Structure 1
């Protein structure tokens, strides 16, 4: 059986992975502090994988307090080469309706004060990393083809707005994001994607549209947590089906 080279980072609604035969849990200590939790090693669809719950296994770490550097460093040092990042998001543009899956191809970073790079201390030279295409296209296409193959309703491209959180956005902020060209909004896409690029990890996001963003959708009223939970539950069922299909092909 192939060694673990694939990691799945679970977001809201995916703190565990049904179908994962757990073989061991590994506590990692990093130069950047503690990750969100132990790395869960296991077998999914006949392939060794590593699972990490981004918000902690009890979903207790808010987006702005996640130690993204520790998480990505830990995965890299566990021998990971590919990362499928699962995230719950809000839909901005018309086709981003709940509970669709989306495989974004671009991202805009609106976060601040997060540890966003490995290249800042004890450098022999200044390091710049190309981020023109923030998601690995090969991995993104594998997710797209997997979704097509099992008939999942998915959007195959879009721009992800990464906001600070933990509060949700105002209607005016969502209007601004749409003017900037954003299609969906979440709180964990950055600096996770950029840190993965700095460590040469192939990284792609599978986003579940949990709700219409502020001021969007029918009625454009307040965002209902009951509706969010219902959409996340339905969307994550599709994510699990997708992972079981795609993981053996990677």
Structure 2
């Protein structure tokens, strides 16, 4: 590609299959195969949000922000979490030239204070997946490549998302650990209790290896959870029912406008990261 095509990249999660109107579809081929589906490129006016910006100003005040959007499960949710081509998805965003990559995702809460409908701007993950292609470096042809990942989520992007959440008047928890399970099944009660006892906050099936691959690709990355349920239930609230697929999709759909509004508010500042 001749120069960057997009400024900000967004992965769509369960129920989040389209984003911007008047977007054009682009096909991107990668060495890792095809991404989950066509990527759409749309524009967000810089003047949409009055959030403070940080870092170098890559975008002038007269420009729109070009946003690349890709639903990670495909436009019809055909790809289960353990079969998503994460390498192709992240590499496609790299080829498009995005300088910030945001990953909204549905999550189950492991804490009574983190309620369905809340957002969590996570700062750590724990990987409990297996069998996923999770690195671009299958061989060290040019020498060792060991990515540092002590802080997997970009602090500046996280701050921008928290500011956008505050401006939108939504509850967003600052920090939290997401434990990533392989799926597509949900947790047993014993697994959920284990995750809670370990001190983790939310559970999801897709944040790994997205975050690790973004680091290898050199793209600042942030994950924001929309809490849809309480996983397998809460010990202190036996009346809480375990999660079902229907619950996840229903709650996410009911909050999808809030997800979009938060992203639209944040994108001008994300482009200036």
Q: TM-score, normalised by structure 1?
A: 0.94
**Structure with greater contact order relative to length (CA < 8 Å, sep ≥ 6):** 2
**2:106 aligned counterpart, secondary structure:** strand
Q: TM-score, normalised by structure 2?
A: 0.86
Say if 2:14 is the partner of 1:12: yes
The Cα of 1:221 is off from its aligned counterpart by 2.7
- Equivalent residue in structure 2 for 1:233, among 247, 253, 259: 253
1:17-36 to 2 correspondences below 5 Å: 17=19, 19-22=20-23, 24-36=24-36
CA distance in 1, matches of 2:249, 2:74: 18
Cα deviation, 1:29-79, whole Å, max 9, x if unaligned, reads 111111101111111344211000100011111000000001001110111
Instruction: Please say if residues 14 and 249 of structure 2, whose CA atoms lie closer than 8 Å, have aligned partners that are also in contact.
Output: no
Match for residue 151 of structure 2?
Answer: 133
The Cα of 1:81 is off from its aligned counterpart by 1.6
Say if 2:115 is the partner of 1:97: yes
1:149/1:198 CA distance change after superposition, 3 Å: same
Query: Greater CA deviation, 222-231 or 26-35?
Result: 222-231
Q: Structure 1 unaligned runs (5+)? A: none
Query: Greater CA deviation, 161-170 or 122-131?
Result: 122-131
Match for residue 263 of structure 2?
Answer: 243
- Equivalent residue in structure 2 for 1:154, among 169, 172, 190: 172
1:1-250 to 2 correspondences below 5 Å: 4-17=6-19, 19-22=20-23, 24-45=24-45, 46-216=64-234, 219-250=239-270
Instruction: Please say if residues 101 and 235 of structure 1, whose CA atoms lie closer than 8 Å, have aligned partners that are also in contact.
Output: no
CA distance in 2, matches of 1:199, 1:173: 32
**1:50 aligned counterpart, secondary structure:** strand
CA distance in 2, matches of 1:247, 1:20: 15
**1:204 aligned counterpart, secondary structure:** strand
Instruction: Please say if residues 12 and 103 of structure 2, whose CA atoms lie closer than 8 Å, have aligned partners that are also in contact.
Output: yes
The Cα of 1:3 is off from its aligned counterpart by 5.8
The Cα of 1:124 is off from its aligned counterpart by 2.0
Aligned length: 247
Instruction: Please say if residues 20 and 44 of structure 1, whose CA atoms lie closer than 8 Å, have aligned partners that are also in contact.
Output: no
Q: Structure 2 unaligned runs (5+)? A: 46-63
CA distance in 1, matches of 2:217, 2:21: 26
CA distance in 2, matches of 1:234, 1:223: 16
**2:207 aligned counterpart, secondary structure:** coil
1:3/1:170 CA distance change after superposition, 3 Å: same
